[in-house]
Amino acid sequence: MKVTVVNGSARIKGNSHAIVNALCEGFAEDAEIKSYELSKMTNSGCLGCMSCKGKTERCIIQDDLTPVYEEIHESDVLVLASPVYFGDVSGQAKIFIDRLYHLFAPDFHDGFDPEGGVIEEKMRSYSRLKRGVKFVFVTSQGAAMEDMYADIQGRYPLFFKYLGFDEVYSIRGLGDPIAFPEANRMEDALEQARELGKRLSF
């Protein structure tokens, strides 16, 4: 099993990294895991140039993210981890997500119904991604309340499905253990991550 891990947090010892580490602990020993730290990479945001819909099937920008996107096409599992900053994923993670737009084939708009709504299964058929790739979306937030920033879990996993990932899993780390020693649920997230790693290995 080949796993690509993309960390969108600059805090190597932070909560989102801890959850990813727990996930990787659960993977089979022979899993091939390659990790990338977005905070240490030179990258730019999507240009909206639409080159990936005509001139090429890949993002036209050449930077440190280029080999990461190539890795995704060869992977069985993609893991993206991010802290929640100002109610959304980190800036580094958002840049990475935006440029996944290259996974859509040029005619992906045919996946919309006449009113502009998305036909999920039809949309996924316009993905350039090979079938069978799984996506694990990891977030951690300082707030311990489950309803805070819950919209992140509604929005992003849906887009990942549209992009062609066959199975999308979400793990939320709620509450910073230092700030909220009693109210945090980080241990729950760590255990969920370990168990998911084991499940994905079979």
CATH of the domain at 181: 3.40.50.360
Across 168-178, average pLDDT = 92
In this model, does residue 23 exceed pLDDT 70? yes
**Higher per-residue confidence, 178 vs 168:** 168
What is each CA distance from 16 to 2, 89, 140, 151, 167, in whole angstroms?
Answer: 21, 11, 5, 18, 21
pTM as predicted: 0.93
Our CA angle for 9, 12, 14, nearest 5°, is 75
pLDDT digits (tens, 9 = 90+) for 121-138: 677 778 899 999 999 999
DSSP summary character for residue 182: T
Across 19-46, average pLDDT = 96
pLDDT digits (tens, 9 = 90+) for 143-154: 899 999 999 998
Our CA angle for 134, 198, 96, nearest 5°, is 35
Pairing assessment for the beta strands 77-85 and 134-141 based on DSSP bridges: parallel
What does the alpha-carbon distance between residue 181 and residue 99 come to, in Å, rounded to a whole number? 37
Q: For residue 18, give the nearest of 138, 136, 135 by alpha carbon.
A: 138
Q: Are 92 and 38 in contact (CB under 8 A)?
A: yes
How many structural domains comprise the chain? 1
Range of the domain at 89: 2-200
Give me the pLDDT at residue 141, please: 94
Across 74-88, average pLDDT = 97
